[in-house]
Amino acid sequence: MRLPEELRRAIEREVAAVDARLLPRAARELSQRYQEGEPSALRSPAHLAAYLQTRLPATFAANRRVFEEVAARMPGLAPRSLLDLGAGPGTSMWAAAETFPGLEKITLVEREAPLVVAGRRVAAQSRHPAVVGAQWLQQDVLAKAAGEPHDLVVISYALAEISEKATAQFLRAAWDAAATLLVILEPGTPAGFARVLAARTALLDWGAHLVAPCPHAEACPMAEASDWCHFAVRLERSAAHRRLKQGALGYEDEKFSYLVAGRAPVELPAARVIRHPLIRPGHIQLTLCTASRLEQRTVTKSRKDVYRQARQAEWGAPWSD
């Protein structure tokens, strides 16, 4: 997964405006806070630049992957409006505009002024008129989550930063604002998944229909197995990103948990692949989430069509046979 070229260039410009000597330390601090599940705390221009260069590509890739899954599950979907709550520098908007170019109206709510200022500047470089013309609201989502309905409402990597006490009310307001879909993304950690699972329970109580990743609305078998449901997306690292992360690899894998809930029922797949398929001589082993349980499925070459499907199935893909 790569960033759109104009976004990559706009980030480079933001980063070039900061003293390069301050970036490695800022990137290390951000990475440490992220791994400890702490809020990003973009305390300085260097932290903001490091965030744009190291974290934005990862959350962009996760968002893009989720929107692609939404588009696959709902082929006729053509959302016209997007509300992003806890928008940071506008990452989800960029990913949504790539998947849904028919977006006309985008509203972003973000508490931190430096992110709003940088996000606006970066968005001005987009080739999508809706991204350029997005409305940025610098305010607390707890004050603003409700409001005018939007086709898509997104909460991306932001639930962790809402106090536990306020989460249910915030989610309810986000759901009330979602005319078609509410999309929630979290880090692919046990804590991130726990937040997604709590949102799943609440949304089902409120009459929401699940769109992805769950192939059913029964009790979550991952939770019952004390496991956590998460997926991964591989993103290219730019040369500057590699230098900053002191990573030799030209890519990184971003792990994420997510939930998409909608107003109307959609056809769900029979199952979802929830681990990397294990390709063995003569057979492939799949771990599937099905309507009733987690299931280990061995697909042998004797079932040609199913075997071919299994060869192409990736972690996170829907599965029917």
Residues in contact with ligand SAM by the rule CB under 6 A: 40, 59, 86-88, 91-92, 109-112, 115, 140-142, 156-158, 161-162
Q: Shortest distance, CB of residue 30 to ligand SAM, whole angstroms?
A: 10
Q: What is the Cα–Cα distance from 293 to 295, expressed in whole angstroms?
A: 6
> By C-beta, is 59 or 126 nearer to ligand SAM?
59
> Rounded to the nearest 5 degrees, what angle is found at the Cα of 73, between the Cα atoms of 70 and 77?
65
CB of 135 to ligand SAM, least distance (A): 15
* 8 Å CB contact between 150 and 105: yes
**Cβ(88)–Cβ(110) under 8 Å?**
yes
The least distance separating ligand SAM from the CB of residue 63, rounded to whole angstroms, comes to 7
Cα-Cα-Cα-Cα torsion 29, 35, 36, 40, nearest 10 degrees, comes to: 50
Q: Which of 119, 116, 187 is nearest to 158 (CA)?
A: 187
Nearer to ligand SAM by Cβ, of 92 and 107: the residue is 92
* 162/310 with CB nearer ligand SAM: 162
Nearer to ligand SAM, 91 or 189 (CB): 91
How far apart, in whole angstroms, are the C-alpha atoms of residue 49 and residue 260?
A: 30
- 74 versus 158: smaller Cβ distance to ligand SAM: 158
Which alpha helices (H) appear in the chain, and where do they start and end? 5-16, 23-35, 45-50, 56-73, 91-99, 113-123, 129-132, 141-144, 164-177, 190-205, 221-224, 239-245, 304-312
CB of 66 vs ligand SAM, minimal distance in Å:
11
Q: How far is the CB of 276 from ligand SAM (least distance, A)?
A: 24
What is the Cα–Cα distance from 29 to 79, expressed in whole angstroms?
37
The least distance separating ligand SAM from the CB of residue 112, rounded to whole angstroms, comes to: 4
> Which one, 59 or 287, has the nearer CB to ligand SAM?
59
